[in-house]
């Protein structure tokens, strides 16, 4: 959204997704994403899922001794 200069409300209006959904995704607070949401975002930004998503494996908490 930042690269395209669209704010959260503009993306919500264009995609039909709720503002809280867009906000959670934008602020990296979302725990999951539905296929319909992914499809709407890809259509909005004319991109592929790979251009929207990055994989960061969970790292276990390490205790220093």
pLDDT at 57: 81
Q: What percent of the chain has pLDDT over 90?
A: 66
How far apart, in whole angstroms, are the C-alpha atoms of residue 36 and residue 7?
20
**Closest listed residue to residue 6, CA positions, set 34, 36, 61, 47:** 47
**Closest listed residue to residue 18, CA positions, set 46, 37, 2, 33:** 37
pLDDT at 21: 96
Mean pLDDT of 28-52: 94
**Closest listed residue to residue 14, CA positions, set 38, 43, 53, 36:** 43
Look up the pTM and report it. 0.77
- Ordered alpha helix ranges (H), 1-65: 8-15, 19-26, 35-45, 49-52
pLDDT tier, 64 (very low <50, low <70, confident <90, very high otherwise): low
């Amino acid at each position: 959204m930042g690269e395209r200069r669209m704010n959260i409300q503009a993306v919500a209006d264009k995609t039909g997704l709720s503002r809280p959904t867009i906000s959670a995704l934008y602020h990296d607070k979302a725990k999951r994403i539905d296929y319909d949401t992914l499809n709407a975002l890809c259509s909005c930004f004319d991109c592929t899922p790979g251009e929207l998503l990055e994989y960061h494996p969970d790292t276990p908490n390490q205790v220093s001794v």
